[in-house]
Amino acid sequence: MEALRGVSLAIRRGERVALLGRNGAGKTTFLRIASTLLMPTSGSVRVFGHDVTSDPDSVRPLIAVVPQEGKPFFHLTPREQVYAYLRARGFPRDKARRQTEWAIDQVGLGDVADRLCMTLSGGQKQRTMVATVLATEAPLLFLDEPTIGLDPFARRSVWETLRHLTREGSTILLTTHYLDEAEALSDRLYIVEEGRVLVEGTADELKRQVGGSVRVSVRDGMSLRERLATFGPTVSEDGTVHVVTGPERVTEIVELAMRGGFSATVGPVTLEEAFLRVVGRSIDRD
Amino acid sequence: MLARRWVGTRVFAATEARVQLHDPLAIATSALVEGILIVFVWVLARDLLPYALFGSLVYSAFLIGQIVLSEAAYIRIEHHINELYHASPLSPEAYFLGLASGILLAFLPTTLGLFVLLEIVHPLTLPAFGSLLLILLAVWVFSSSLAYVISTLFKEMKALWSYGSLIVNLLGVPPPVFYPLTLWPEEWRPLAMLIPTSGGAALAEAAAGLQPLTGELVLLGAVSLALEAAAMFLFAVWWSHRSAREA
pLDDT band at B58 (very low <50, low <70, confident <90, very high): very high
What's the pLDDT at A237? 77
**Which residues of chain A are in CATH 3.40.50.300 domains?**
16-206
What's the pLDDT at B74? 95
pLDDT band at A282 (very low <50, low <70, confident <90, very high): low
**Residues B142, B144, B145, B148, Cα dihedral to 10°:** 150
What's the pLDDT at A146? 87
Q: What is the DSSP secondary structure assignment for residue A249, as one 8-state letter?
A: G
Q: What is the mean pLDDT of residues A167-195?
A: 87
pLDDT band at A1 (very low <50, low <70, confident <90, very high): low
C-beta of residue B205 within 8 angstroms of C-beta of residue B128: no
CB neighbours of residue A68 within 10 Å: 17
* B interface residues, A as partner, C-beta within 8 Å: 7-8, 11-12, 14-15, 18-20, 22-23, 75, 78-81, 83-91, 98, 244-247
Amino acid at B56: S
Q: Distance (Å, rounded) from C-alpha A90 to C-alpha A107?
A: 23
Number of domains in chain B: 1
Write the ipTM.
Answer: 0.88
Contact residues, chain A, for B11 at CB < 8 Å:
84, 87-88
- The minimal CB distance from B79 to the residues A70, A87, A142 is found for A70
Q: Distance (Å, rounded) from C-alpha A266 to C-alpha A155?
A: 27
C-beta of residue A21 within 8 angstroms of C-beta of residue A27: yes
Provide the CA B243 distance to its chain's centre, in angstroms. Answer: 22
Which of A47, A65, A148 to mutate against chain B (most B CBs within 10 Å)?
A: A65
Specify the range with the lowest mean pLDDT, choosing from A130-134, A207-211, B135-139, B207-211. Answer: A207-211
Reference A148, options A128, A176, A183, A116; nearest CA is A176
Structural domain of B42: 3-243
| Nearest residue in A to B244, CA atom | A37
pLDDT band at A273 (very low <50, low <70, confident <90, very high): confident
Query: What are phi and psi for residue B35, nearest 5 degrees?
Result: -60, -45
Q: Is the confidence at residue A278, as pLDDT, over 80?
A: no
What's the pLDDT at B11? 93
Å from B90 to nearest chain A CA?
Answer: 6
Judged by CB atoms closer than 8 Å, whether chains meet at B15 and A73 is answered as yes
**Which residues of chain A are in CATH 3.30.70 domains?**
211-268
More confident residue, B202 or A198: B202
- The minimal CB distance from B19 to the residues A37, A66, A76 is found for A76
Q: What pLDDT digit, counting tens, does each position of A16-74 carry?
A: 999 988 888 888 999 999 999 999 888 888 999 999 999 999 999 999 999 988 999 99
> What is the pLDDT of chain B when averaged over all its residues?
92
Cβ of residue A38 closer than 8 Å to a chain B Cβ: yes
SS3 B86: helix
| Nearest residue in A to B84, CA atom | A65
Judged by CB atoms closer than 8 Å, whether chains meet at B246 and A35 is answered as no
Q: Distance (Å, rounded) from C-alpha A264 to C-alpha A255?
A: 9
Q: What pLDDT digit, counting tens, does each position of A223-268 carry?
A: 988 898 898 888 777 788 888 888 888 999 999 999 989 999 998 8
pTM of the model: 0.88
A172 to each of A7, A44, A158, how far by Cα in Å?
18, 19, 13
Give me the DSSP letters along A107-172: TT-GGGTTS-GGGS-HHHHHHHHHHHHHTTT-SEEEEESTTTT--HHHHHHHHHHHHHHHHTT-EE
Å from A186 to nearest chain B CA?
Answer: 23
What's the pLDDT at B168? 86
What's the pLDDT at A238? 79
Contact residues, chain A, for B19 at CB < 8 Å:
73, 75-76
Q: Is the confidence at residue A281, as pLDDT, over 80?
A: no
Q: Is the confidence at residue A286, as pLDDT, over 60?
A: no
> What is the pLDDT of chain A when averaged over all its residues?
88
Q: What pLDDT digit, counting tens, does each position of B179-199 carry?
A: 999 999 999 999 999 999 999
**For residue A88, how many C-alpha atoms fall within 13 Å in the half-sphere facing its CB?**
33
Specify the range with the lowest mean pLDDT, choosing from A117-121, A182-186, B16-20. Answer: A182-186
Q: Is the confidence at residue A285, as pLDDT, over 70?
A: no
CATH code at A211-268: 3.30.70
**For residue B10, how many C-alpha atoms fall within 13 Å in the half-sphere facing its CB?**
4
- State the Cα angle at A65 between A61 and A70, rounded to 5°: 140
Q: What is the mean pLDDT of residues B215-236?
A: 97
Q: What pLDDT digit, counting tens, does each position of A72-112 carry?
A: 999 999 999 999 999 999 999 999 999 999 999 988 899 99
What's the pLDDT at B156? 87
B235 to each of A14, A55, B89, B154, B242, how far by Cα in Å?
41, 22, 21, 18, 10
Which of B11, B18, B88 to mutate against chain A (most A CBs within 10 Å)?
A: B88
More confident residue, A38 or A177: A38
* Contacts A–B by Cβ distance under 8 A: 101
What's the pLDDT at B1? 60
Contact residues, chain A, for B86 at CB < 8 Å:
36-37, 60
Architecture of the domain made up of A16-206: 3-Layer(aba) Sandwich (3.40)
Window 49-68 of A: residues touching B by CB (8 A cutoff) are 56-57, 60-61, 63-68
pLDDT band at A143 (very low <50, low <70, confident <90, very high): very high
Contact residues, chain A, for B79 at CB < 8 Å:
70-74
Cβ of residue A28 closer than 8 Å to a chain B Cβ: no
